[in-house]
Structure 1
Amino acid sequence: MTTPEGKGTLEGKVAFVTGAGQGVGQGVAFALAREGASIAVTGRTEAKLVDTVDRIRAIGGTAEPILCDIADTARISAAIETTVEVFGGVDILVNNASLNPLGPLLGLTSELMAKAYASGPIAALHAMQAVYPIMKERGGGNIVNMVSSAAVRWDTSGYGGYASVKEALRSLTRTAASEWGPDNIRVNAVAPHALSPGLQWWTENRPEEAAEFVKSIPLRRIGDCEDDIGRAVAWIVSDGARYLTGATVPLDGGQARWS
């Protein structure tokens, strides 16, 4: 995607992407950078962040690694402040990183669920609150929250905790879109299927289950982190989607049935 002048559609924008050291977050960071955005590459593992930044710079993009543990709200605030110091502001927030509690309900402990909510909707809400005044002052912005189709699976067994965390984030997404629309801040959710490191491990270690999973996807493949997920996110936060807000965009090859 380029403008008539040959520039990227996100030229001059600054994006703060959590969990950008690998998987979906990294794919989104690559796609946004290709469209001209400067990227605050955030996460907990410095080596992974540096790798992502080096790869963005290799394609002519601008990026900085910023350590941030999203389970600690003070660190989220500090990371956003650093981004403003380095790049001058924040125009795009992508809440991607989270702890995903999987397993049957009887096996979900209070401690695990508390950590999942802290790193999921609570962390995302804090980041949203932190960027709101920055985006408002800049005349608007875009927030994308990574959610899941787990709550609308044909069988949610083993996915209840994970689904509850992601549904909480979907609710916050819709509310933020409603409350912040007058400030020209668009807020959307994306529910992806992508070949992240976790899904890659599952595919390699449980090939029969993975094969059946792929068969349930009408497009018969799992999405690529950059080409299928990242590029779609780049469109969602561009002016090409300027009338889209409060939506959940399923990037799952048509697998889930969203009502």
Structure 2
Amino acid sequence: MGVLDGKVALITGGGKGVGFGIASALSKEGADIFICGRHEKPLAAAAEKLQANGVRAEYLVGNVSEADDCSSIVEACAERLGGVDILVNNANDAMPIPLLDVSDDDFTRFFRTGPLAVLRLMKACHPLMVARGGGSVINLVTSSAVRWDMATYGPYAAVKEATRSLTRAAGCEWGKDNIRVNAIAPHAMTPSLQWWTETYPEAAEAFVKSIPLGRIGDAEQDIGRIAVFLCSTDAAYLSGVTIPADGGHSRWG
């Protein structure tokens, strides 16, 4: 028996990295999983691994920056798996870049794949969650906005802070519908971070030393298990908050 038996989780960007880590953790607690992303190969491989955990796992290729794709993703999840109980907004194109280097097109794209996609997906899932008696939304954000040195992190932090605001607002507005909305600000090993640590070993070593717990988090065990908690009845009185899952690295004040 898993704590999420009978639940259906929709996870954007679920084919790899933190998204897959969360999908894996939820599936091991009994949740059926629907993942989406822009590339079929990692999605198909991820779905096969998730099915090995004894749950249903489906996927759809789609781009969350497009309104029609957001609608199609939610509709496909409901049609194939019967509804939506859990939404994890993980997909995002934003990246660290100096303010003088970011173009209008870049910044607009960051917002389209970030808070605009998050808002569209939350709104699309809302009636499905209401129909099932409630639900849980988890939005992936960042601790970049509370870094002592925010150099190069301005655009990235801006879109993630917008997502945090949507998280708080939805938590306040949708509590009456028994829908809880929370955010996780993670540090976890992902394919892109793995590349960075191997390419810049000295910088990576300094980064790890700056984390009080002395290591980079694991996408499934350190981030996925927090997602399991947030989706479970153990977190039934928790909504509208951001959990920094970063080994004590950030300064939230």
| TM-score category (smaller protein) | over 0.9
For each residue in 1:176-227, what CA deviation from the matched residue of structure 2 results, as whole angstroms up to 9, or x when unmatched?
A: 0000001100000100000011111110101111111111100000000111
Deviation at 1:59, TM superposition (A): 2.4
Aligned pairs for 1:47-58 (under 5 A) are 47-58=41-52
> Is the contact between residue 191 and residue 249 of structure 1 (CA under 8 Å) also seen in structure 2?
yes
Q: Amino acid of the residue matched to residue 226 of structure 2? A: A
Report the equivalent of 1:66: 60
Look up the match of 1:18. Answer: 12
Which residues of 2 match residues 35-54 of structure 1 at below 5 A?
Answer: 35-54=29-48
- When the two chains are superposed, the root-mean-square deviation of aligned CA atoms in Å is 0.7
1:68 Cα offset (Å) = 1.7
CA distance in 1, matches of 2:232, 2:36: 21
- Where in structure 2 are the equivalents of 1:111-122 lying within 5 Å? 111-122=105-116
> Are residue 181 (structure 1) and residue 175 (structure 2) matched?
yes
Q: Pairwise mapping of residues 198-237 of structure 1 onto structure 2 (< 5 A)?
A: 198-237=192-231
Aligned pairs for 1:28-107 (under 5 A) are 28-107=22-101
Distance in 1 of aligned mates of 2:116 and 2:167? 12
1:106 match: secondary structure: coil
Aligned mates of 1:61, 1:49 — CA distance in 2: 16
2:136 is equivalent to residue 142 of structure 1: yes
CA distance in 2, matches of 1:81, 1:137: 14
Q: 2:241 is matched with which residue? A: 247
CA distance in 1, matches of 2:170, 2:52: 36
Query: Mean alpha-carbon deviation: is it higher for 78-87 or for 117-126?
Result: 78-87
Partner SS for 2:174: helix
The letter for the 1-side match of 2:48 is D
* One-letter amino acid of the structure 2 residue matched with residue 216 of structure 1: S
TM-score by length of 2: 0.99
C-alpha displacement of 1:61: 2.3
Measured in 1, the distance between the counterparts of 2:94 and 2:214 equals 25
Distance in 1 between the 2:87 and 2:113 partners?
16
CA deviation profile, 1:55-94 (whole Å, cap 9, x unmatched): 1112222201111211111111111101111111000000
CA contact (8 A) 1:18 1:96 kept: yes
Counterpart among 150, 159, 175 of residue 153 in structure 2: 159
1:41 shift after superposition: 1.3
Q: Distance in 1 between matches of 2:36 and 2:225?
A: 19
- Whether the aligned pair in 2 keeps the contact of 1:101 and 1:112 (CA below 8 Å) is no
Moved over 6 A (4+): none
SS of the aligned residue for 1:105 comes to coil
User: 1:4: which partner in 2?
Assistant: none
Secondary structure of 1:107's counterpart equals coil
2-structure distance, mates of 1:197, 1:92: 25
Q: Could you tell me how far apart the structure 2 residues matched to 1:157 and 1:14 are?
A: 39
Superposed CA deviations along residues 130-155 of structure 1, whole A, max 9, x for unmatched, are 00011111110000000000000110
The CA distance in 2 between the partners of 1:178 and 1:239, in whole Å, is 19
CA separation in 2, counterparts of 1:58 and 1:243?
Answer: 32
How far off its partner does 1:246 sit? 0.3
For structure 1, the 5+ residue unaligned runs are 1-6
In structure 2, the gaps of 5 or more residues are none
Please give the alpha-carbon distance, in whole angstroms, between the structure 2 residues aligned to 1:165 and 1:223: 23
